Amino acid sequence: MNARMDGRGSGKSVYLHIGAPTAETAFLHRALWDNRRRLADAGVCYPVTAPQEHFAAVMDLREMSWGGRREPGWDGAWARMAERAREWDGPTVVFSQGLLGGATEQQVKRAVAALEPAEVHVVFATRDLGWQLILDWQEQLRHAHTITFERFVDDLVARGIDAPEPYGEMFWGLHDPVRVLGVWESAVPKERVHVLTLPAPDGGQSPLWDRFRALIGVDAGACDVGGIPADEPLSAIEAELLRRLNERIGPALGADYERTVREHLVGHGLTAGTDTTGRPRMGLPARHAEWAANRTRQIADALRGAGYDVRGDLGELTAARDPGPGMLPGDVSDESIATASVGVAAHLLGELTAARERIGLAHLRSEMAGVQDNLRRLLEAAAAPPPALQRAARRATGRRNP
């Protein structure tokens, strides 16, 4: 019986990338999905059959709902993914989902058991805590939240994981590598726990992909990630404008919120709206800069002492004491918000006009197709005269029906 039939595989390794969610995870998902066939040629299975199936699998494993909803298609999604991983007859399987970092000890053990007898590895990417606070707040904005940045950070610093829901659990439960990896160590030995360090985001591609693909044994030229945009932070003006918009559009859009914001605002309308205002980089509140630097050092020391495999340099986490001088969203002037709002409105109106033109062209093509169909029928009718005309022609020629 071959490896694909008995599900064992010879020395197969499964790499579970479990976070942190805002440490280039969206980029990694796109890279894996776009290169899934190239990865397969290199002996690496990405056991996902649709772009968002990784999310469904983790919702199933963690028995979670999202936005108050639970889709029927999530049921059994983790088992289906795990079955594909077991059936793969190559040496390596990779799976990535930032919400895996929040799994409980029981869920972790269930996840690993579903992938056995393969050797399961855990991968966690992280960067300076100050940047993680900024990026996670911006991610909350993408899900219709309206909390101010200053309140968000104040609560997380003062109350830790007990900060108001969902922020305490969503930040400390997913972004603290010491907490997250401590839970995963209940099922995976520390020599199979890998930490990927990342520098501060600078608008270009971070070293995440190179460190990840080297870890899983993929050559530099095997995949193409050149056209995949980096996960670039929002500027202070973009973020504050989105926060204020959320107060109005969140309730109005409902379930369409995330799709609409992703397709029309983030990276699109907000960027166009700040063409004239500039895009000042966000910073931490000054009162928390020293705390963030100290906590980051504590995390780096704990990771170093844990004996995990580190790809990169833990010094990258502490090289900058904080994200550096930047603007707080609360300091963005009303004038800047008004100017950016006009730019966003102009951009969206331009998109609306272009969409109407596309719809008009589609309607015209539909009408033309109908005209062509009618012409075809007329031509067929002309080629085959109607029965009354045929009978008249037969009478005129003295012919009779048989």
Lowest-pLDDT range of 8-17, 138-147, 231-240: 8-17
Taking the C-alpha atoms of residue 175 and residue 223, their distance in angstroms, rounded to an integer, is: 28
* pLDDT at residue 99, as a whole number: 96
Nearest partner of 41 among 86, 97, 92, judged by Cα: 92
Nearest partner of 281 among 328, 315, 220, judged by Cα: 328
* pLDDT at residue 78, as a whole number: 97
Taking the C-alpha atoms of residue 127 and residue 139, their distance in angstroms, rounded to an integer, is: 16
pLDDT digit string, tens, across residues 53-76: 999 999 999 999 887 788 888 999
The residues, any chain, with a CB within 8 Å of residue 399's CB and separated by 6 or more, are: none
Taking the C-alpha atoms of residue 198 and residue 211, their distance in angstroms, rounded to an integer, is: 10
Residue 399 pLDDT level (bands cut at 50, 70, 90) = low
SS3 194: strand
Report residue 142 as tokens.
Answer: 């993408």
Give the angle subtended at the CA of 82 by the CAs of 80 and 83, to the nearest 5°: 65
* pLDDT at residue 377, as a whole number: 58
Output the pTM of the full model.
Answer: 0.84
* pLDDT at residue 400, as a whole number: 52
Q: What average pLDDT does range 157-167 have in this prediction?
A: 95
- Residue bearing the bigger pLDDT, 201 or 153: 153
Share of the chain above pLDDT 90, in %: 64
Task: Report how far Cα 299 is from the mean position of its chain's Cα atoms.
Answer: 26
Residue 362 pLDDT level (bands cut at 50, 70, 90) = low
* pLDDT at residue 68, as a whole number: 77
* pLDDT at residue 384, as a whole number: 57
Lowest-pLDDT range of 96-105, 190-199, 217-226, 248-257: 248-257
pLDDT digit string, tens, across residues 255-303: 788 888 888 888 788 888 888 899 999 999 999 999 999 999 999 999 9
Contact status, residue 379 vs residue 372, Cβ threshold 8 Å? no
Lowest-pLDDT range of 107-121, 128-142, 348-362: 348-362
Measured in degrees and rounded to the nearest 5, phi and psi for residue 45 equal: -95, 130
The residues, any chain, with a CB within 8 Å of residue 34's CB and separated by 6 or more, are: 224, 225, 228
* pLDDT at residue 252, as a whole number: 79
pLDDT digit string, tens, across residues 182-194: 999 999 999 999 9
Q: Are strands 309-311 and 119-126 parallel, antiparallel or unpaired?
A: unpaired
What is the DSSP-derived secondary structure letter of residue 282? B
Report residue 372 as tokens.
Answer: 């062509």
Residue 3 pLDDT level (bands cut at 50, 70, 90) = very low
Strand order in the sheet with 119-126: 44-45, 92-96, 13-17, 119-126, 193-197, 309-311
Contact status, residue 99 vs residue 58, Cβ threshold 8 Å? yes
Q: What average pLDDT does range 13-33 have in this prediction?
A: 95
What is the DSSP-derived secondary structure letter of residue 147? -
- Residue bearing the bigger pLDDT, 15 or 388: 15
Task: Report how far Cα 95 is from the mean position of its chain's Cα atoms.
Answer: 13
Predicted confidence (pLDDT) at residue 11 exceeds the cutoff of 90: no
CA atoms within 13 A on the CB side of 292: 25
Nearest partner of 96 among 22, 46, 166, judged by Cα: 46
Measured in degrees and rounded to the nearest 5, phi and psi for residue 127 equal: -145, -175
Predicted confidence (pLDDT) at residue 81 exceeds the cutoff of 90: yes
Q: What is the mean pLDDT of the chain?
A: 87
- The kind and range of the H/E element at 33 are helix 25-34
The residues, any chain, with a CB within 8 Å of residue 98's CB and separated by 6 or more, are: 18, 19, 20, 21, 22, 25, 174
- Residue bearing the bigger pLDDT, 353 or 155: 155
Taking the C-alpha atoms of residue 267 and residue 239, their distance in angstroms, rounded to an integer, is: 11
- Residue bearing the bigger pLDDT, 370 or 107: 107
pLDDT digit string, tens, across residues 209-235: 999 999 999 999 999 998 898 888 999
Predicted confidence (pLDDT) at residue 335 exceeds the cutoff of 80: yes
